[in-house]
Structure 1
Amino acid sequence: MRHLGIKRLPSSFHIQRTINNIRKFNNSSASKIIDEKFKLIFNKEINDALIKQKPIIALESTIICHGMPYPQNLDTALEVERIVRQNGSAPATIAILNGRIHVGLESKDLEKLAKMGKSVKKCSRRDLALAVSQGLTGATTVAGTMAIAHMAGIKVFVTGGIGGVHRDAETTMDISADLTELGRTPVAVICAGVKSILDIEKTLEYLETQGVLVSTFVENRNGNGDDDFEFPAFFTRKSGFKSPSSLKTIKECASLIYYNSLLNLQSGLVIAVPIPEKNAADAELIQVAIENALMAARNIGVSGKEVTPFLLKRVNEQTQGASLKANIALVKNNAIIGSQIAKCLAEDFNCSHENRENYIDTHHPINDMKQEQPTQQNKLVVIGGIAVDIVSTLDPKFKDYHRTSSPGKIRFSLGGVGRNIAEAASRIGVSPLFISSIGRDIPGTWLLNKMKEIGMATEGLQILDEKPTGVYNAVHDPYGDLLYAVADMDFDNISGDLISEAIKKNKPNLVCFDGNVSTTCITSIIETCQALQIPVFFEPTSVPKSKKIVMHFRSLLPTNIIRYTSPNKLELAALHNEAEALGLFDYEAYSQDLTDVEKVIGKSNEKLSLLNEEIFFQSARLLPYIPNIIVTLGNQGALLVQSLADPPLIRDESKFRGNNFEIIVPKRVREDGRGGGAIRFRYFEPTVVENEEVVNVTGAGDSFAGALAAGLSYYGDKPIDDLIDGAQKAAALTLQSHETVSEKITPKLLAL
């Protein structure tokens, strides 16, 4: 972990301990996450899908307990879950087991519900609190399932058919709660329409009143004829009534869901999928059976919530099982279509189901800054370390800290060089794809949730079962300066193939990686970016880790694909010395240019006394491999060293304005015609921290790199001087923050 020192005015020191956020995970396990507020329990498959941002499909449980007899209900439930997985989504069957709401069931739970059948309480929205408070087992209806799916942030729900307005509702007032739930809960329901035992015309009218868009999915149809708008009637493909609209592709369905959320309409959607023709029951046979069943229900006094299961059972008996077969077939077909829609929603519209507010720009803490500067999604890819930072700061009242327990303050915060860079870039307004790995453990869960809270994308994180999450444990003196630290981190498991695939898919303007990644990953980054001509920013991270890049130097010469690096003085020396040991400076072509640098630096030495001359020579020798080197000098500021192909008009060899200076040394044209251009040195005074405490140096250097990378990915390198000024301000803000990246960093820092 690196930090950037900034010149500061004397101030008192103060830091507060905040560890409560991590304590709430003490009772969680690797297989489930429990949200006590809503009593939601996710099984391992759904928990993994949430972490990895895999698409999820909500499934109801009433169809298991009240919709079909055993064992067809169990066979259908298991087969529907298999179909959902086969089509790229995770099945989240929802039910209440002994008073606990489960999102995702194990096979044994499905079997238990299937065998219990109608003895299980049917739970609509109104019944949820009762079932939870009394410890009941309940099967959720369409309305109950929608409400819980929305709590869990799941956007797509697959069922057989929705409830509706019952026949004779004008006298009985019997209207399904499914319809009012659709009017207030933004979940898309993929179904086969409304059961033909209901009043379909009045149901469509009621949905219109509730502000619910109804569309019929007519895949592979051509034209916009009347058939395209025909609303299906569950067992049959046509009802005789039109839908307000039709959708012809999976992507159109996903787009509809996306924009319904983006507009924050807070109402659901009905995407009606007609039953496949080969499985459609005979319409006339079904209609006769329905009329007979309705008459029987009236004669024996069946009413209320018992009507629907009675009618379905009687219709199945009169059709000799044809209606049950059709029911099973349409549910499976809906599962196929729904899973494909959820997958498209996640992949093509970059929608994260785990936090529904992330769909809506006005609720996104990072995107709140869009009015100041446009956000570029994934135009920057950051690869590197992520960790929990534990920072201990010694109490200034005590002097002897050696080999004893010492008073002080302890703080937990988000950390890791790559993660810090990604957060700083996010706060600048360039939303990066961050690639790293965490363990399936308490620190990993905490990091994941905290990143989501501040609006950072997490789809690039790999969740590893066999490796722990990284931890960085630092001890600071009473004034916030680092004394020593222990870094327990291993990022060798980040997949080079994953990195290469992500770069190819996103085609960013810039790729930034830190020294935590393995040499295998570095090779993947360089090779992929060379093939696509994407410039790369290398953040050295530490003295030992900075050397990893040197073995790749020879491959960099033809393209200079690593365009930028930001070492501190020690890391610069390590890069230089490692390259020298490998014989990378054994060439004559550059020696004359270095002689000219020495003359200019020697001539100006009195004015450059604040800097070590070695910084100039070491940087200049590395320029053939990395043409833009930004040396961070702690509380002395920063030095930009560049290799210019087309130098500006040079009137003087050097320009001094106070302590700031710019030196341009022309490169000589050699006998072979190569060379030319210039070497440019530009010094930046430090940003002065005034009237604010410096409370934490950890993360300041990462904030500098993140702001600079964000600016380079957005603007390119032409305004790099201004970007460095802004990056220094970002570092100064972080020095004044208890967090590893200051929450005060905004796009205004780089608004040129």
Structure 2
Amino acid sequence: MSEPIVVSGPVREALAERRPVVALESTIFTHGLTRPRNVAVALAAEQQLRDAGAVPATVGVVDGVPTVGLSEEQIVTLGDAESEVVKVGIRDLPMAALKRTHGGTTVAATAFLAHHVGIGVFATGGLGGVHRGAATTFDESADIVALASIPILVVSAGVKSVLDVPATLERFETLGVVVAGYRTARFPGFYVRDSGCVVDDITSPEDAAALARARDALGLRSAVVVGNPVDASAQVDPELHDRVLVEAEREAAGSGLRGKSLTPFLLEHMHRATDGRTLETNIAAYQGNVALGAAIARALVS
């Protein structure tokens, strides 16, 4: 019987030797970025971690097998327009195994698989959260529930700004997810530095590592979410952001969109309406999170 989860040799060795390892999700390049730039960004993130003294562990599903530590060839395959690749959350892992499909793992599935093999730090772009209008639709990302039950540290640029950020932070509070802003008391808004929501702040990678250790010492089983704002020079102009988001929501409502199709529609509309600026911001935020993730992973093993 084959192993249910494959861990690459470099990742397995680094974990055994207590060297810093950082998990990376695959949906950011299978579904979030345009081709062929998606693969270039994914491979650059891995090299960025190596240059910072950490071992990259990109997580994905190859022929139905969850894999922690994708090879360059596997990343290219999952990012290829000719490959059929589905988006895989936690609940989708058994079906992907049954059908032997390729899959890009979401934040939830990446956190689950990374923690399962012993990785403590995960760097991503933006988190899923509560959708606008969820009071009637009950529509919220599986990321929320996953982070409430998986003790991993996640570095992100906040919750995707097309979602209901205040409601998402309320859900995190209810579910016991620890949230901190990195060198800011304002939770970042993904495309913009400030979502308008106040959080506790930390000032160093060592603070983040200490926060994770305190959680573990107390026996808590939830994630630590570190919100890392995108550089000011890379954020979308806040006024432009708010205007195009309103336009996107109006167009989505007129089309009757909801469920899984809504967030991709809103993100694509903002990409077009900002002449591609949101894509550049997304990449800049991801690179910043990867850098911080490496620093926190080093602090955790020191």
Write the mapping of 1:149-228 to structure 2, written as runs, cut at 5 A: 149-218=114-183, 228=184
Q: Is 1:100 matched with 2:65?
A: yes
CA distance in 2, matches of 1:241, 1:57: 27
Q: Is 1:345 matched with 2:300?
A: yes
Candidates 6, 10, 17, aligned match of 1:52: 17
CA distance in 2, matches of 1:187, 1:116: 32
Q: Does the residue aligned with 1:238 lie in a helix, a strand or coil?
A: strand
CA distance in 1, matches of 2:8, 2:83: 24
Candidates 67, 75, 95, aligned match of 2:32: 67
Q: Does the residue aligned with 1:101 lie in a helix, a strand or coil?
A: strand
Distance of aligned partners of 1:263 and 1:118 in 2 relative to their CA distance in 1, 3 Å threshold: farther
Q: Is 1:322 matched with 2:277?
A: yes
Q: Does the residue aligned with 1:215 lie in a helix, a strand or coil?
A: strand
TM-aligned CA deviation for residue 65 of structure 1: 1.2
Q: Is 1:272 matched with 2:237?
A: no
**TM-score, normalised with respect to structure 1:** 0.39
Q: Does the residue aligned with 2:193 lie in a helix, a strand or coil?
A: coil
TM-aligned CA deviation for residue 195 of structure 1: 1.2
Q: Is the 8 A contact 2:77 2:83 kept in 1?
A: no
**TM-score, normalised with respect to structure 2:** 0.96
Q: Is the 8 A contact 1:193 1:273 kept in 2?
A: yes
Q: Is the 8 A contact 1:289 1:315 kept in 2?
A: yes
CA distance in 2, matches of 1:94, 1:216: 25
Q: Is the 8 A contact 2:15 2:119 kept in 1?
A: no
Q: Is the 8 A contact 2:35 2:81 kept in 1?
A: no
Write the mapping of 1:360-439 to structure 2, written as runs, cut at 5 A: none
Q: Which structure exhibits the higher relative contact order, with contacts defined as CA atoms closer than 8 Å and separated by 6 or more residues?
A: 2
Tell me the residue number matched to 1:80. 45
CA distance in 2, matches of 1:132, 1:261: 32
CA distance in 2, matches of 1:170, 1:60: 29
CA distance in 1, matches of 2:83, 2:193: 29
Tell me the residue number matched to 1:256. 211
Write the mapping of 1:477-516 to structure 2, written as runs, cut at 5 A: none
Residues 138-177 of structure 1: CA deviation (Å, up to 9, x unaligned): 1110111111111111111100011011000011110111
Q: Does the residue aligned with 2:130 lie in a helix, a strand or coil?
A: coil
TM-aligned CA deviation for residue 69 of structure 1: 0.9
CA distance in 1, matches of 2:5, 2:217: 26
Q: Does the residue aligned with 1:195 lie in a helix, a strand or coil?
A: coil
Tell me the residue number matched to 1:286. 241
Q: Is 1:335 matched with 2:290?
A: yes
Q: Does the residue aligned with 2:189 lie in a helix, a strand or coil?
A: coil
Write the mapping of 1:291-690 to structure 2, written as runs, cut at 5 A: 291-347=246-302
Residues 425-464 of structure 1: CA deviation (Å, up to 9, x unaligned): xxxxxxxxxxxxxxxxxxxxxxxxxxxxxxxxxxxxxxxx
Q: Is the 8 A contact 2:15 2:118 kept in 1?
A: no
Q: Is the 8 A contact 1:192 1:334 kept in 2?
A: yes
Tell me the residue number matched to 1:229. 185
TM-aligned CA deviation for residue 302 of structure 1: 2.4
Amino acid at match of 2:197: F
Larger radius of gyration: 1
Q: Does the residue aligned with 2:247 lie in a helix, a strand or coil?
A: helix
Q: Does the residue aligned with 1:95 lie in a helix, a strand or coil?
A: strand
CA distance in 2, matches of 1:301, 1:266: 38
Distance of aligned partners of 1:203 and 1:251 in 2 relative to their CA distance in 1, 3 Å threshold: same
Q: Does the residue aligned with 2:6 lie in a helix, a strand or coil?
A: strand
Q: Is 1:141 matched with 2:91?
A: no
TM-aligned CA deviation for residue 276 of structure 1: 0.9
TM-aligned CA deviation for residue 298 of structure 1: 2.0
Aligned Cα root-mean-square deviation (Å) = 1.5
TM-aligned CA deviation for residue 117 of structure 1: 8.0
Amino acid at match of 1:234: F
CA distance in 2, matches of 1:116, 1:184: 34
TM-aligned CA deviation for residue 299 of structure 1: 2.0
Residues 398-451 of structure 1: CA deviation (Å, up to 9, x unaligned): xxxxxxxxxxxxxxxxxxxxxxxxxxxxxxxxxxxxxxxxxxxxxxxxxxxxxx
TM-aligned CA deviation for residue 192 of structure 1: 0.4
TM-aligned CA deviation for residue 105 of structure 1: 0.9
CA distance in 2, matches of 1:180, 1:117: 33
Q: Is the 8 A contact 1:64 1:117 kept in 2?
A: no
Tell me the residue number matched to 1:471. none
CA distance in 1, matches of 2:116, 2:96: 17
Q: Is 1:127 matched with 2:78?
A: no
Amino acid at match of 2:62: L
Q: Is the 8 A contact 1:65 1:118 kept in 2?
A: no
Q: Is the 8 A contact 1:57 1:90 kept in 2?
A: yes
CA distance in 2, matches of 1:212, 1:134: 34
Tell me the residue number matched to 1:583. none
Distance of aligned partners of 1:119 and 1:167 in 2 relative to their CA distance in 1, 3 Å threshold: farther
CA distance in 1, matches of 2:92, 2:219: 27
Q: Is the 8 A contact 2:59 2:67 kept in 1?
A: yes
* Unmatched segments (≥5 aa) in structure 1: 1-26, 28-33, 219-227, 348-752
Q: Is the 8 A contact 2:205 2:299 kept in 1?
A: yes
Candidates 84, 89, 98, aligned match of 2:54: 89
CA distance in 2, matches of 1:118, 1:194: 29
Q: Is the 8 A contact 2:62 2:101 kept in 1?
A: yes
TM-aligned CA deviation for residue 44 of structure 1: 2.6
TM-aligned CA deviation for residue 118 of structure 1: 9.1
CA distance in 1, matches of 2:179, 2:134: 21
Residues 275-323 of structure 1: CA deviation (Å, up to 9, x unaligned): 0112111111111111111222222232211222221111111100111
Q: Is 1:113 matched with 2:71?
A: no
TM-aligned CA deviation for residue 87 of structure 1: 1.2
CA distance in 1, matches of 2:72, 2:83: 19
CA distance in 1, matches of 2:141, 2:170: 13
CA distance in 2, matches of 1:238, 1:46: 35
CA distance in 2, matches of 1:119, 1:164: 26
Amino acid at match of 1:316: H
CA distance in 1, matches of 2:158, 2:83: 24
Q: Is the 8 A contact 1:43 1:105 kept in 2?
A: yes
CA distance in 2, matches of 1:54, 1:310: 40
CA distance in 1, matches of 2:238, 2:83: 28
